[in-house]
Amino acid sequence: VTASSTASFTMDHERAGRYTVRIVPEALNRPELDAVLDGRRSLVVVSPTVERLYAPALDALAARNGPRMRRIVCVSGEPAKGLAAVERICDAALAAGMDRHGVFVAVGGGVCSDLVTMAASLVRRGVRCVRIPTTLVAQIDAAIGAKGAVNFAGRKSSLGCFHPPALVLADPVLLRTLPLPEIRAGLAEIIKIALVSDAPLFELLERVVPELLATRFQEPADDATTVMAASIRRMLEALDGNLFEDRSYRRTVDAGHTFSPKLEAAARFTIRHGEAVAVDLALSATLAARLGFLATGTSERIRRLIATAGLPITSDDLTAELCRDALAEAVRHRGGRLNLPLFDAVGHARFVDTSQVVDQVLELALEDLRLPLAEDQRVGVS
């Protein structure tokens, strides 16, 4: 990853070539976008919400590009993220005469990004895809990596692809219309990336999260951009060298994603992904403290930031049994028991052997989650 400014990052990958992620205003009206389109046949795929809220900007984009550009609205919502939705997009692309030089433009959240990435990987064995993510999670996480996926045969994201984008334009202005739970979900992933890799980001979040949440990342504008840029940079750094997940099972970005999948399943998806990640991070903090390598005060500080972001730090569904199941699953999926990502200080990841998480430690860590947090206490800063 190289940063060409405070808000522009370029990923160089031996297999994937190069792509740029930029934080820009007016993402739908940018020379970088026009440079990729450049007279080629294109299909703009938007979520229903984007079509409703941003039709004028989309129409202006269409007017600039003429009949070579077409636009369709894709489905929204995780349950609709299936192969049928991908087929509809492919069908529209081929009906529009898309050839191997064609370009997809995905404007929407994670579902839109996943579906369009899948379609772009399949049409003519792979065409370019520009992503203009419109949710905070997509802007700092889901839409800046190489992955696309659909749910299949009742299994979440069980079919998918690695198909890196040609360009990602993250526009903070688009967040002003986002529902608050979506802002919170993004904050959960931002807190995660700060915990494993960026102490100054964590400290900035402690200061500005209430205002960022209240203003949906519009104010303070400089801090909002700093938070987004740091999150994007750290995420790209974490992906770099392992973009196709074929080099290492030690992925710091898996932090917060050990217990959360089981928690989501146990709650039958009534808990949001971001909320489950928040609970997972809180448990990871108390676990790290009970394992003896994270200061108790730091663990409390982490839980306090999560709570300040309006996110949960525990759940009735979070039982010891669920946690043991999740750890067993992690062993299977992360190439062995040595690859549990935790943190031994704010901003620093450590990989732990799951067999260290004995029943007594787990149960104490779960109890810690139920303790009330002191109101305004900052002790044991690591």
Cis amide prior to 25 (ω within 30 degrees) = no
**Segment contacting a copy of itself (CB under 8 A): 159-167, 262-270, 314-322, 336-344?**
159-167
**Segment contacting a copy of itself (CB under 8 A): 145-153, 223-231, 289-297, 365-373?**
145-153
85 within 8 A of 79, measured Cβ to Cβ: no
Spatial CA neighbour of 214 closest among 250, 238, 178, 245? 178
* Residue 100: how many other CB atoms lie within 10 Å: 10
User: Taking CB under 8 A as the rule, does residue 83 contact a copy of itself?
Assistant: yes
Nearer to a copy of itself by C-beta: 242 or 382? 242
User: Taking CB under 8 A as the rule, does residue 155 contact a copy of itself?
Assistant: yes
| 292 CB-contact burial (10 Å; exposed 0-12 / middle 13-18 / buried 19+) | exposed
User: Taking CB under 8 A as the rule, does residue 91 contact a copy of itself?
Assistant: yes
- If binding means CB under 8 A, how many residues of this protein chain bind a copy of itself? 29
Distance CA 296, CA 374 (A): 13
Q: How far is the CB of 148 from a copy of itself (least distance, A)?
A: 9
Distance CA 134, CA 5 (A): 22
User: Taking CB under 8 A as the rule, does residue 122 contact a copy of itself?
Assistant: yes
300 within 8 A of 313, measured Cβ to Cβ: no
User: Taking CB under 8 A as the rule, does residue 333 contact a copy of itself?
Assistant: yes
**Could you give phi then psi for residue 329, rounded to 5 degrees?**
-65, -40
Per-residue contact string for residues 181-220; x = within reach of a copy of itself by CB under 8 A: ----------------------------------------
312 within 8 A of 319, measured Cβ to Cβ: no
User: Taking CB under 8 A as the rule, does residue 245 contact a copy of itself?
Assistant: yes
**Segment contacting a copy of itself (CB under 8 A): 158-166, 174-182, 221-229, 281-289?**
158-166
Which position among 153, 270, 316, 360 is part of the footprint of a copy of itself (CB under 8 A)? 153
User: Taking CB under 8 A as the rule, does residue 367 contact a copy of itself?
Assistant: no
Distance CA 130, CA 382 (A): 40
Distance CA 332, CA 318 (A): 21
Which position among 131, 147, 184, 251 is part of the footprint of a copy of itself (CB under 8 A)? 147
Contacts to a copy of itself from residues 14-33, by CB under 8 A: 14-15
* Residue located via tokens 């990987």: 121
Q: How far is the CB of 274 from a copy of itself (least distance, A)?
A: 22
55 within 8 A of 71, measured Cβ to Cβ: no
Query: Which residues bind to a copy of itself, rule: CB under 8 A?
Result: 14-15, 83, 87, 90-91, 94-95, 99-100, 121-126, 147, 149, 152-153, 155, 158-162, 245, 332-333
